[in-house]
């Protein structure tokens, strides 16, 4: 499993990218999805995920809709147009970052 420290700066990018690929999702679904994609090597903690979601929403990158599921309410998140643009930017920025890091650390990416 990767250290949560490494995850910190990329959390927003991950959330945005996942939402871009899958459309609308709710919080628990996002944790599951990330776990699957990373072969269980990335585990989003709830304590980090929800503040990130609310922050992105407050900044206008995400929109939400709520659906009643029996007794409970499910809150779905999806990207806004602004969020979509920002996702593209952040992903390419991160790829750039990886490339730089590989140079700095003098390792070949597989």
Partner 1 sequence: MALSSEHIDFIIKDLNHRGIIIEEIEAEILDHVCSAVEDRMNQGERFQDAYDRVVCAFGQTRGLLDTQQKVLEAEHQNKPGRMIKNFITIGLRNVRKQGFYSFINITGLAVGLAACLVITLFIIDELSYDKYNTKADRIYRVNNEIKFAENYYHITSSSAPTAHALQQDYPEIEATVRFRSYGSYLVRPEIATESIKENRVIWTDSTFFRIFSVNVIQGDARTALAQPASIAISNSLAQKYFPNESALGQSLLLDEKYNAKITAVFEDMPRASHFHFDMLIAMVGDWPVAQEAQSTVFLSNNFQTYVLLKEGASSRALEEKFPGFLDKYVGPQIAQIFGKGFTMKQFEESGNKYQMTLMPLLDIHLYSDLKGELEANGSVTYVYLLTAVALFILTIACINFMNLSTARSSNRAKEVGVRKVMGSMRSHLVRQFLTESTLITLFAFVVAVGLAYLILPFFNDLALKQLEIPFQSPLFYIALLLGVFLVGLMAGLYPSFILSAFNPAQVLKGTLAKGSRSGMVRSSLVIFQFIISIFLIIGAITIQRQLTYIQNKKLGFEKNQVLVVHDAYALRPNVEVFKQAVKSIAGVENCTVSGFLPVENSDVSRNDNSFWKEGKTPSTENLVSIQDWRVDDEYVQTLGMKMKVGRSFSPEFPSDSDAVVLNEAAVAQFGLGENPIGQRIATFKAQRPDGSPDPTRLSTWTVIGVVENFHFSTMREGITALGLFLRRSDGFVSIRFQGKDTQSIINEVESAWKRLAPGKPFQYGFLDDDFGKMYANEQRLGKIFGLFAGLAILIACLGLFALTSFTAEQRTKEIGIRKVLGASVPSIVLLLSREFGKLILIAFLLAAPLAWYGVDWWLNRYTYKTEIGVGVYLIAGLTAFAVALITMGYQSIRAASNNPVKSLRSE
- Using the contact rule CB under 8 A, the part of the chain among 6-14, 39-47, 78-86, 101-109 near partner 1 is 39-47
Kindly identify the residues of this chain, within the stretch 44-103, that bind partner 1 according to CB under 8 A. Answer: 45-47, 50-52, 54-55, 57-59, 66, 69-75
| Residue tagged 């643009």 (tokens) | 85
Handedness of CA 95, 84, 49, 43 (dihedral sign): negative
Q: Residue 13, exposed/middle/buried by CB under 10 A (0-12, 13-18, 19+)? A: middle
Q: In angstroms, give the least distance from the CB of 60 to partner 1.
A: 9
Which of 27, 38, 80, 91 contacts partner 1 by CB under 8 A? 27
Phi first, then psi, for residue 38 (nearest 5°) are: -100, 15
Q: Which residue ranges make up the site for partner 1 (CB under 8 A)?
A: 26-29, 45-47, 50-52, 54-55, 57-59, 66, 69-75
């Amino acid at each position: 499993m990767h250290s949560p420290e490494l995850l910190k700066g990329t959390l927003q990018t991950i959330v945005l990218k996942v939402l871009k690929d899958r459309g609308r999702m709710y919080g628990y679904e996002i944790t599951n999805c990330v776990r699957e994609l990373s072969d269980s090597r990335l585990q989003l903690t709830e304590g980090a995920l929800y503040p990130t979601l609310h922050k992105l929403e407050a900044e206008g990158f995400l929109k939400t809709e709520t659906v009643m599921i029996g007794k409970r309410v499910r809150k779905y998140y999806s990207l806004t147009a602004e969020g979509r643009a920002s996702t593209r930017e952040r992903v390419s920025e991160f790829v750039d970052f990886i490339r730089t890091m590989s140079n700095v650390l003098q390792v070949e990416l597989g």
